[in-house]
Structure 1
């Protein structure tokens, strides 16, 4: 018998998940099949790798020694998929992902067309939901991966920056600041402000930049908190207040003269969009190809 990656991946997932049943669910295998593969790996090395108990498995000394090599083997397969995804022009398959609201509503629709032209045989299914829902569906194996607007801290998640974005100050055409070439942050804080709901990626980025400039949300005249970028844009257009949104989300309104973006002196709301997926998971090659497309193409030509 030769050592194979499949067994190392199963062993790593069992150790990472803490039980054979959880690993079986994550790998879409039966529990007996997972147990058999781990036993085969133990037979290959001639030593026990896991101590079984009624509550949770624990790594033996040999298992602890094997873990970093199993992790490196997973990383190497991921790197291999990423490199080979550049050549998979005839790739077929289904791409299923989750995207947080701004990404799903305004960013990806402009990118899926060019991606589809380059990879016409990949069918795409996208769910637009908030970050918490995306993470829940990934953990429950309903989604392979997601794209989110702000970093998250989750012990089971792998996270990587794949796109850049920038928030812009927006005002309605009748706003007192409309027509300004540039404004001071202190002036912005004097006016009513419409914000995304607490916990949204857009709001987190804005709050972080304000803290760097010695301001906080408490210093704002918040008149409304809304659950979508579309609602925020409508409120700004109606003259209810100014706001901060992704530049890509207001191109249409700016072109029509309904909304204006204004630079703030020495303030830049730059951010990254992130891909997230389970650390123990290996993404299908269609997903790897899509993420490589996002990382390596000049996306601004479409945004």
Structure 2
């Protein structure tokens, strides 16, 4: 019989193509990772990785087997969770992928409230670039995804769930910190720390400033960084000014480290979307999280469309009193 632990090690190693990173991600030693892979290769009678010194690469056989192993692990996980759900408990592991700064601040709060209701569910937030989160959703590596852009892929469905504002932040010692607002054209007089052009924050900034006749490319950019936290630190140090989501700036403004300065006649808002894969069955933990989200955000559809537990265990649901659902199409 195949060892589920070895299969999980194989999936992570296939993603990283690095046994050291695999060990770090799975919180085990590198020799243990190598042993799992070797044992799996011996059991299957194939080479899953090509080894070139310390470098590894997924073999053609490994690429063929990878989606089958991922399906097997999902089925293994689902059997355990459905069995526990039949006893009336919501148990499992909820994995949410996140590609946005705002999401990183909102999700911990949401998961904390959710676990107050379902303490037997373990939560994981996987942070990555937007293309990574989309790939994770398509492969089933995450149950839900949070993104600021709707990337059209077959089977993926998006719902708005949180609106945030992009704000201008300045050092507390900057002259603008004492002003109630500044005119957008005054931005040309300052230096800025910017996000990379592919980020949701930057795209919202370009769109917003364009409405008031400001060309972002003409602003003096002294530094480009990969996250809003780095922008806030650079602003604190007086390197320049920056634009970040309001939810990210909240802590720094409360501590008096930076100041939010409104732009006259402009409010730059953007929506965050929660995404799910219609092609994959939903776990009890995922369905419970969706019901929780619907309570705090009534604009969401009341249920994720089928595949769901009712298709697998319809009689058991009615007999055991598992959480009732109202089936309404989004």
Match of 1:290 in 2: 289
Q: Work out the CA distance in 2 between the residues paired with 1:177 and 1:159.
A: 39
Q: Work out the CA distance in 2 between the residues paired with 1:173 and 1:190.
A: 18
- How far did 1:104 drift? 4.8
Q: Is the 8 A contact 1:103 1:148 kept in 2?
A: no
- How far did 1:141 drift? 2.5
- How far did 1:253 drift? 1.1
Change (3 A) 1:205 1:283: farther
- RMSD over aligned CA atoms reads 2.7
- Residue ranges of structure 2 left out of the alignment (5+ in a row): 1-63, 73-87, 299-330
Q: Work out the CA distance in 2 between the residues paired with 1:266 and 1:118.
A: 43
- How far did 1:168 drift? 1.4
Q: Which has the higher contact order (CA 8 A, sep 6+)?
A: 1
Match of 1:96 in 2: 95
Q: Is the 8 A contact 1:163 1:295 kept in 2?
A: no
Matches within 5 A, 1:58-97: 90-97=89-96
Q: Work out the CA distance in 1 between the residues paired with 2:182 and 2:138.
A: 44
Match of 1:188 in 2: 187
Q: Work out the CA distance in 2 between the residues paired with 1:214 and 1:296.
A: 40
Matches within 5 A, 1:50-65: none
Matches within 5 A, 1:1-303: 28=71, 90-297=89-296
Q: Is the 8 A contact 1:107 1:249 kept in 2?
A: no
- How far did 1:223 drift? 1.4
Equivalent residues, number: 220
- How far did 1:156 drift? 4.1
Change (3 A) 1:217 1:156: farther
- How far did 1:159 drift? 1.6
Q: Is the 8 A contact 1:101 1:228 kept in 2?
A: no
- CA deviations on 1:142-181 (whole Å, 9 max, x unpaired) are 2222111233233442222122211211111122311211
- CA deviations on 1:14-39 (whole Å, 9 max, x unpaired) are xxxxxxx99x859937xxxxxxxxxx
Q: Work out the CA distance in 2 between the residues paired with 1:209 and 1:175.
A: 23
- CA deviations on 1:174-207 (whole Å, 9 max, x unpaired) are 2231121112111223211111112111111111
TM-score normalised by L of structure 1: 0.65
